Structure 1
Amino acid sequence: MVEHHFIKLLTKQYNEWILITEELKGICTESKIRNGIMYVISRHTTTGVTVNESLECLESDLSDMLERLIPEDFPYAHARLLSSYGSTAGNPTGHLKSHLTGNHCVLPIIDGTISKGDAQDIYFCEFDGPASRTITVTIIGE
């Protein structure tokens, strides 16, 4: 059996870490699938989905690390007029940060519950906000 669900978000900041663990638990609880796999995939190229411990200081450390690796003021090739796009691309850092965090995660479902470590939470990462965003959640199993 396959089920598709969607999480809609309106992000508030240019760079933002949004916990989606509880929404995913709710989808899992409502699902008819008791054992299988949950795929959580962002539909956007300047966002990410990642798993880590939910600590405010860790979120800050991750943001600082990404800023050091991908500074806003670097002369990126992507930050120029793109004829094929019809405007100036002003979000190169969002694409690069998304590339590092990844755009998805895969979670096992066992006996109707997401199987994850006690310290693990699932984040949606915004790197080009604020914006309206959609996450696709696909559950495959029995």
Structure 2
Amino acid sequence: MDSQVLDVDTARRRIVDLTGDVRQFCASRGDGLCNVFVPHATAGLAIIETGAGSDSDLIDTLERLLPRDDRYRHAHGSPGHGADHVLPGLVAPSVTVPVGSGEPLLGTWQSIVLVDLNRDNTRRNVRLSFVSG
């Protein structure tokens, strides 16, 4: 298995498009599967359309579902930080994409994105792994 770790800064963006990094990682690897994994308890990954409003819509939806208030039992950190720990239950910590001839087989409008609402930790590691098939 080939693997690489990306260091991602989420200080200015809550959704970070990783598609270019994934394409570059897969480019010389042929056919197989690429797994993208974020080893953090307060972030997730999604495959969505970006740039047409869907990324903002996803953030708005998550903020409505996970309000920043004092309802959470997990209560350390900034106000409402407990919501950050619920996020991976809704936005999974990994996605796996088929790869053909070194190209992720994404749909025309699909992008792989890191979703991070947590303002307490703005440095994220994302592990890309490739299994030949």
TM-score, with normalisation over the residues of structure 1? 0.84
SS of the residue corresponding to residue 112 of structure 2 reads: strand
Give the Å deviation of 1:121: 0.3
The question of 1:104 aligning with 2:94 is answered: yes
More strand by share: 1
* CA apart distance, 1:74: 4.3
> How far is the alpha carbon of 1:113 from its aligned partner?
0.8
Q: Is the 8 A contact 1:39 1:107 kept in 2?
A: yes
Is 1:94 matched up with 2:93?
no
Q: Identify if the C-alpha distance between structure 1 residues 59 and 41 changes in structure 2 by more than 3 Å, giving closer, same or farther.
A: same
Per the TM alignment, residue 16 of structure 1 is displaced from its structure 2 partner at its CA by 0.2
CA RMSD of aligned residues (A): 1.6
Q: So what's the TM-score if we normalise by structure 2? A: 0.89
Partner residue, 1:73: 69
Tell me the equivalent position of 1:140: 131
Q: Mind listing any 5+ residue stretches in structure 1 that lack a counterpart?
A: 80-87
Q: Percent identity?
A: 24
Map Cα deviations across residues 20-64 of structure 1 (whole Å, 9 max, x no partner): 0001111111x4x20100000001110111101113521221111
1:41-99 deviation digits (Å, cap 9, x = unpaired)? 001110111101113521221111111111101411111xxxxxxxx354211111222
In structure 2, runs of 5+ residues without a counterpart are none
> Which residue does 1:11 correspond to in 2?
10
Aligned residues of 1:34 and 1:109 also touching (Cα < 8 A): yes
Following the alignment from structure 2 to structure 1, what is the Cα–Cα distance between the partners of residues 68 and 100?
42
| Structure 1 stretches of 4+ moved >4 Å | none
- SS of structure 2 residue aligned to 1:136: strand
In the alignment, which of 104, 112, 123 is matched to residue 122 of structure 1? 112
Structure 2 match to 1:36: 32
Does structure 1 conserve the Cα–Cα contact (< 8 Å) formed by 2:16 and 2:113? yes
Q: Which has the larger radius of gyration?
A: 1
Kindly provide the amino acid, as one letter, of the partner of residue 34 in structure 1: G
The count of corresponding residues between Structure 1 and Structure 2 is 130
Name the structure 2 match of 1:25. Answer: 23
For residue 47 of structure 1, the aligned residue among 23, 43, 50 is 43
